[in-house]
């Protein structure tokens, strides 16, 4: 593909005028893909000044930057006029400390984090470990996504021993991993690792119908808001739910930001959007019923009509 002179000039100008330039999907305030969000998070974590160009807003720029750099994917990061790479390369350079050096940022040497591993998780890790040099790694990216896997030790890795389990932590993950609790539990979808991170920002948590049923019978109050239309609510309703419009909004205003609030709709899409809005208002324990009232009818209470 031949790069149009005007597009080439625009790209060169952006790279030349900005020491750290990121071509991405969306903006630094509202990334529109996970890979772009990861790189934005890393740059913000380093505290470096950077500019972005939204390739979704300009098709010629989206296609042109791929030709210009001879790199097929977005995002693409340039530093001091030189192409650095995409998300995976930026993430690796950040983990090794190389990215901080490249942008001229002094990063304090990380300390080994405190990680808590339950007895059940320790047994599961030891059962999965195979003879050899591979060790258990925990990586937590700028979006606080956690990855647990076995791999060889890398330069700069920190070693943490928790409940007899040795974990490798890269420097970039160290602060984000401090205080993490790892358990191995049985759930509706089978057994798996449960990770609690006190450093992670609040997110809307997915809640299965069976988990909601158990939560509603617990000691702590649960506030269940139904975002469906009045007609839908008249057709089928979970006992104890509150219509979000009107009555629900007033109720929400009276609640502590630490209250448990759960949102539900027909299949979980509209309620997810409402939950995200409430999360942005500062509520910390926000849940969305996966599958909505339809899942509740199928998995918990068949007397609730399906429609």
Q: Alpha carbon 153 to chain centroid distance?
A: 25
According to the model, what pLDDT value does residue 2 have? 80
Q: Which range among 70-74, 129-133, 181-185 shows the weakest confidence by mean pLDDT?
A: 129-133
Quick one: which of 62, 75, 93 has its CA closest to 156?
A: 93
- Do 80 and 50 contact (CB within 8 A), yes or no? no
According to the model, what pLDDT value does residue 189 have? 66
Confidence class for position 250, pLDDT limits 50, 70, 90: very high
Cα separation, 10 vs 84, in Å, equals 19
Structure tokens at 105: 């940022």
> Quick one: average pLDDT of 180-203?
88
Which domains, and CATH codes, for the chain?
5-103 (3.40.30.10), 116-196 (2.60.300.12), 205-299 (3.40.250.10)
Say which residue the tokens 């390739």 belong to.
55
According to the model, what pLDDT value does residue 29 have? 85
pLDDT tops 80 at residue 74? yes
Quick one: which of 255, 220, 256, 226 has its CA closest to 239?
A: 226
According to the model, what pLDDT value does residue 291 have? 96
Instruction: Say which residue, 301 or 106, is predicted with more confidence.
Output: 301
Structure tokens at 115: 């990680």
- Do 257 and 264 contact (CB within 8 A), yes or no? no
pLDDT tops 80 at residue 223? yes
């Amino acid at each position: 593909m031949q790069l149009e002179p005007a597009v080439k000039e625009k790209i060169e100008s952006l790279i030349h005028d900005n020491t750290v330039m990121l071509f991405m999907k969306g903006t630094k305030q509202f990334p529109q893909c996970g890979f772009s969000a990861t790189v934005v998070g890393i740059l913000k974590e380093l505290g470096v000044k950077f500019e972005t160009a939204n390739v979704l807003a300009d098709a010629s720029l989206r296609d042109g930057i791929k030709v210009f750099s001879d790199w097929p994917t977005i995002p693409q990061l340039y530093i001091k006029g030189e192409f650095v790479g995409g998300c995976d390369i930026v993430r690796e350079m950040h983990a090794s400390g190389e990215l901080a050096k490249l942008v001229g940022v002094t990063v304090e040497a990380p300390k080994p984090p405190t990680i808590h591993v339950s007895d059940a998780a320790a047994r599961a890790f030891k059962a999965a470990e195979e003879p050899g040099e591979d060790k258990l790694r925990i990586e937590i990216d700028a979006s606080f996504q956690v990855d647990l896997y076995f791999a060889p030790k890398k330069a700069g890795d920190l070693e943490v021993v928790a409940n007899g389990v040795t974990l490798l932590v890269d420097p970039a993950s160290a602060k984000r991993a401090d205080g993490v609790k790892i358990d191995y539990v049985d759930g509706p979808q089978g057994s798996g690792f449960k990770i609690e991170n006190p450093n992670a920002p609040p997110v809307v948590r997915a809640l299965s119908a069976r988990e909601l049923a158990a939560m509603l019978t617990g000691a702590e109050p649960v506030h269940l808001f139904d975002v469906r239309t009045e007609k839908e609510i008249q057709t089928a309703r979970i006992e104890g739910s509150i219509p979000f419009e009107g009555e629900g909004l007033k109720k929400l205003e009276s609640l502590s930001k630490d209250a448990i609030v759960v949102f539900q709709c027909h299949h979980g899409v509209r309620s997810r959007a409402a939950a995200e809005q409430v999360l942005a208002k500062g509520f910390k324990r926000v849940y969305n019923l996966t599958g909505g009232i339809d899942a509740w009818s199928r998995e918990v209470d068949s007397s609730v009509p399906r429609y």
